[in-house]
Amino acid sequence: MHGRPRKSATPVDENASALKAAKIRSLQTQFLQNHHNNIYTKEALELNAKLLETNPEYMTAWNYRKLAFEHNLISQSDAEKADSDHIKSIIDEELRVVENALRTNFKSYGAWHHRKWVVSKGNSSTERELKLLNMFQKQDTRNFHAWNYRRFIAGLKNISDEKELQYTTDMINDNFSNYSAWHNRSVLLSNLLEKKAEGYFPKETFLTEEYEFVRNAVFTDPDDQSGWFYHLWLLDQTVKVDMPVMVSSWPPCDSDINLPVASEVKFPVVLYFNEPVEGISSHTVIVQIEDDVFKDITWSPLSTNKFGCGQAWVTHLSIPHEKFNFSKIYEVKIKSEDSRGITSLSGVPCSRPWSFAFRVSVKDVQPDEGQSFGRIMLTDESFCTIDTNLNKTNLLKSYFELKTSDDDQITSSKWKLEMIDNEIAHYRELLTWADCKIGKLTLARLLMAYDSMTSSATPIAHVEEVLQLYSELMKLDTPHQQYYKDEYSLVLLKQVTSSMESLLKHCWQYKSTPSSITGSICLRLNSLSLSRIGSIERLLWVQSLDLSHNQLHSIEGLEALQLLSCLNLSHNKLASFTALDPLRFLKSLKVLNVSHNEIGSHTIDTRRYQCSSPMSHTIDYDPKFEEFANGDAKLVNFWEAYTVFGGLNLMQLDIVGNVAVDERFVSFLVKLLHGLKWLDGEELH
């Protein structure tokens, strides 16, 4: 068992266990003989039962019993078949064997599984099963086997969810530290909600009572975790929107974008949802330019996993050269078709159709190809304050325009806000007499939830209080500091992106003439102690981004910024190449600075277990790598770097100041990145 120190065995113990082992071995030999010869007599079964009592983990022994059961059932005489008592006695015997095994180890998988198997055959008493379960609950209220089995029996015997709910109420009343009981409660309430059972649907009917119920637990003993987890579930139920919704896009609705002319005018269209979705395809989303429906559009998810889902989806639209008309403004319309095909990960369809339109025009300006590419620096000297009349700033406005919500949403927002407001009042009170960490965390979550649902002019009313809470938590609860830092960063970014004014404060204009690479505006979020990135939905327009001098350990979310061409990540805490994985999707990226990070500081890249690596599920092994490595075994270490950088067309890269970067690596990079002109400040030829 976990956490128990091993004690060396005394000679007496050793002797005893040797004897025990010998006994078991002989039983086992005999049993296996029976098993191999398909002997299912009463004696054989008794032998098997004895073996299982000593060693309930022996799956073969359990399976033998199943075979015996079937065999004996088939080979019954007619008289026996008619006698239901006979079958019942066989079943009773099986159940008795399971009980004995459970006495030895009441967490034995094999025993519980066998019981389920037997009980599924019918002819068993519900009462008895429940009685057995009650007994196990008394012994250990968190016996998850017992709870699982309970759910199984409830399903098999059609015990109503309401009745089971009452059972959890009783258990919690008895001792509210019962995490499993709270958990079961959440499962049952979800079921009832799904079935739209009376008294439980819509969800506001039970939420108030549940909040009160759990409040008694957490207020009586704030140090007990069980109630807090349940409260989190309740909050989630309160806040969550019941179906996936598209929250933002590039280009934004009703915008005008101007593209430089090129052999092919190509631009990305990004759809950004409130949660990861699947099912975006040309069947579910229609793209129209003027009145032509574009066929053969492929949408791909912008996500570092291979599951075919993502919060952001992209497609690339191109207008072929022939069709150019410099004076024309093309109206592009994107709308959902059969939006029910778009579903959340849990299968909830997007039932409300959506659409948006934007206008595209082509600039009659020659692209600046062939010009010498000067080194781009994202330092203070490169910028000046922004001119709010710039076209680009108008584009930003679209991200802050309020969408009209329908009546449903308004009324649901109302009860949600009331409920959360009530909770906020209570938990503020709790913190006055119980200075507990999880209380602060809950209050922070409540305040953020409240803000996220207000569509009013002050969507960030509580942000300062929340930031304060997270700062306190970072000091109070150092083991979880990273988590609080991340949350702090997300809240801070919410604040920054909450309004046009606040966002513009961080937008700077390039002094020199904007190139197609840098764009005219750079969003500078440097030196904000950010440990991760969020609020992506309002940043889809960003072309130049400065995130230097922060504490980023992850750049997850950046993959959705399809316009990104200049990115400064220097002086952060990126610890591996796999942390740079999102960059893979930024096909427009030209200028990248990842200098002075911690790439390669650990010999074992633990992120490997979370994201792409040769062994993981996220990307396929690229056979071209072998070609590239050309037999140089040492280059195998750079596999991840190959994956990240290989698909990018970088022109400028700064990578100095990372442990993994040595001469060999530099030459590898130079070999890989053909178009690279600047490396660590040096011009390449």
Which residues lie near other proteins (CB under 8 A)? 1-3, 92-93, 95-96, 99-100, 103, 107, 128, 131-132, 135, 138-144, 173-177, 215-217, 219-223, 426, 429-430, 433-434
Q: Closer CB to other proteins, residue 178 or residue 518?
A: 178
Which tokens is 243 given? Answer: 């179906």
Strand pairing class (343-344; 300-301):
unpaired
Taking the complex as a whole, how short is the minimal distance between the CB of residue 108 and other proteins, in angstroms? 11
Query: In the complex, what is the shortest distance from the CB of residue 581 to other proteins, in angstroms, rounded to a whole number?
Result: 32
Instruction: Round to whole Å and give the CA distance between 125 and 149.
Output: 14
For residue 415, the minimal CB distance to other proteins (Å) is: 23
Nearer of residues 230 and 585 to other proteins, judged by Cβ: 230
Beta bridge partners of 522: 508, 544
Residue 203: CB minimum distance to other proteins, A: 24
Nearest distance from C-beta of residue 100 to other proteins, angstroms? 8
Min CB(640)–other proteins separation in Å: 34
Which CA distances in Å does 133 have to 128, 159, 161?
9, 14, 17
Compute the least distance from the CB of residue 541 to other proteins, in Å.
47
Considering beta carbons, is residue 430 or 447 the nearer one to other proteins? 430
Residue closer to other proteins by CB (options 46, 620) is: 46
Chain-centre distance of CA 124, in angstroms? 42
What is the rounded distance in angstroms from the CA atom of residue 61 to the CA atom of residue 32?
A: 9
Work out how close the CB of 103 gets to other proteins at its nearest, in angstroms, rounded to a whole number: 6
Pull the structure tokens for residue 165: 């709910």
Of the pair 148, 481, the CB lying nearest other proteins is at 148
Token pair listed for 532: 């991760």
Whole-number Å distance between alpha carbons of 255 and 251:
7
* CA dihedral sign of residues 572, 576, 579, 581: positive
Enter the tokens of residue 48.
């098997």
With a CB cutoff of 8 Å and minimum separation 6, the contacts of 5 are none
- CB of 137 within 8 A of CB of 145? no
Least distance CB 423 / other proteins (angstroms): 13
Displacement of CA 568 from its chain's centroid (Å): 26
- In this structure, what is the dihedral angle of CA atoms 493, 495, 497, 502, given to the nearest 10 degrees? -130
One-letter amino acid at 236 equals D
Nearest-angstrom CA–CA distance, 17 and 252: 73
Nearer to other proteins (CB atom), residue 181 or residue 207? 181
Q: Which is nearer to other proteins, 173 or 527 (CB)?
A: 173
- Which residue's CB is nearer to other proteins, number 45 or number 362? 45
Q: How far is the CB of 1 from other proteins (least distance, A)?
A: 6
User: What is the CB neighbour count within 10 angstroms for residue 456?
Assistant: 10
CA distance 331 to 361: 9
3-class SS at 303? coil
Nearer to other proteins, 132 or 189 (CB): 132
Residue number, 214 or 448, with CB nearest to other proteins: 214
Kindly tell me which of 58 and 585 has the beta carbon lying closer to other proteins.
Answer: 58
Answer whether 668's CB lies under 8 Å from 655's CB: no
Cβ burial of 384 (10 Å; 0-12, 13-18, 19+) is exposed
Length of the chain (residues): 685
Cα(610)–Cα(428) distance, integer angstroms: 37
φ and ψ at residue 273, rounded to 5 degrees: -105, 170
Shortest distance (Å) from residue 638 CB to other proteins: 39
Shortest CB 54 distance to other proteins, Å? 15
| C-beta closer to other proteins: residue 177 or 618 | 177
* Cα→Cα distances 470→148, 241, 440, 443, 479, Å: 37, 25, 8, 10, 14
Contact between 527 and 572 under an 8 Å Cβ cutoff? The reply is no
